[in-house]
Amino acid sequence: MIVMIEEYLQMLVNWFSIDNVLFEFLGQRISSLEVTSTVCGLLCVLLAVKGKVANFWVGYIYNIVLFLMFYQTRAYSSMMLQPVSLAINFFGHYRWTHPHDDEKDEKSRLKVTTFNFGQRSVVAAIILIFTFVWGYILSRVDVWIPSLFPAPAKMPYFDAFILGTVLMAQLLSAQKKLDCWVCWLVANSLNIILCYRLGLSLMTLVYALYFLLAIGGFLTWLKMYRKQHYIDLRRQVEEKWAKEKK
C-alpha cells in the first residue's frame, strides 16, 4: 500500500515537471505541465467570456499550475504574479456573487460597467510606474536573494510590464469593467512574445487563442453593457414618470 502511494506521488511530481515531455510541437518539447496549464487556462477564459462565476474555480487551479511552470522556466515576475492573482480571484469571486443593490443587472448579477477617459489615464500611469519599479527589482533579485533565485531573471522590464498589465486586467475583471479586455489584449499579445522566447511553443499558441478570445470577450461584454445601460435608462425614465404623476 505504501509503495503504491509513493508511486502515485512520484507520478504526480513528474506530471508537474517541465521536464516531463509528452510530445513535440513546432520543433519544441511540450511538457505535461504546459498541457495542464493550457487546458485550465482556455476553460477559465471561455467561462469568463460568458460571464460565468465558475471561471474563478478553474482560475484557482490555473494559478497553482502557472506558478510551478514559471518557477521552473525562471520567469520570476510571472511566477510571483500567481499568489497575487489568486487573491484577486478570491476578491472577484466575492464581487461577482455579492453585488450591491445599485450594481445588479436584471438577473441580480454584477453588471458590466466601464471607465471614463480620466480613469483610464490613471490605469495606464499605474501600469507604467509599476513596470519601472518591479522591473528594477526583478533585475536585482538574483543578487539580493540568490538562494531562491540562483539565475538572473529573463527580460525583467518586459516581464514586469506584462505583470502590471495582467494584474490590472484581473482587477478590472473582478469588478466587471469592460476595460479589462483591452488590458487582456495587450497582455496576451506580449505573452505570445514572452512564451516564444522561453521556448514554450504550446503556450505561445494558447496566448494567440487567448488574444482571439479577448476580442470575443470584449464584444460579448459590450453587448451586455449596452443592454444593461438601456434597461437602466428605461428604469430611470419610468421612475421619473412615476414621481411626476404623484
For cell 465558475, the residue is 54
The confidence score (pLDDT) of residue 194 equals 78
The confidence score (pLDDT) of residue 133 equals 92
Q: How far is CA 51 from CA 183, 204, 217, in A?
A: 17, 25, 9
The confidence score (pLDDT) of residue 51 equals 84
The confidence score (pLDDT) of residue 138 equals 81
Tell me how crowded residue 216 is: count the other CB atoms within 10 A of its CB. 14
pTM: 0.79
Chain Cα centroid distance, residue 150? 27
**What is the total residue count of the chain?**
246
| Helix pair angle (2-15, 32-49), 10° resolution | 70
Tell me how crowded residue 101 is: count the other CB atoms within 10 A of its CB. 6
Tell me how crowded residue 161 is: count the other CB atoms within 10 A of its CB. 22
Bridge partners of 113? 177
Q: Which distant-in-sequence residues (6+ apart) come within 8 Å of 234 by Cβ? A: none
End-to-end CA distance of the chain: 78
The confidence score (pLDDT) of residue 195 equals 78
Tell me how crowded residue 111 is: count the other CB atoms within 10 A of its CB. 20
Predicted confidence pLDDT, tens digits, the chain (246 residues): 665 565 566 666 666 677 777 777 666 777 888 888 888 888 988 888 888 888 989 999 988 888 888 888 777 767 777 888 889 999 999 988 888 877 777 777 788 899 989 999 999 999 999 999 988 888 887 778 777 777 777 778 888 898 899 899 999 999 999 999 999 999 999 988 877 777 767 678 888 888 999 999 999 999 988 888 777 677 766 666 766 666
The confidence score (pLDDT) of residue 246 equals 61
The confidence score (pLDDT) of residue 173 equals 92
Give residue limits of the domains in the chain.
Answer: 2-98+116-218
The confidence score (pLDDT) of residue 25 equals 67
How far is the C-alpha of 178 from the C-alpha of 221, rounded, in Å? 6
CA 145, 146, 148 angle in degrees (round to 5)?
75
The confidence score (pLDDT) of residue 10 equals 63
The confidence score (pLDDT) of residue 238 equals 63
**Helix/strand/coil (H, E, C) string of 229-240?**
HHHHHHHHHHHH
Cell of 8: 502515485
Q: Which of 83, 37, 75, 39 is nearest to 162 (CA)?
A: 75
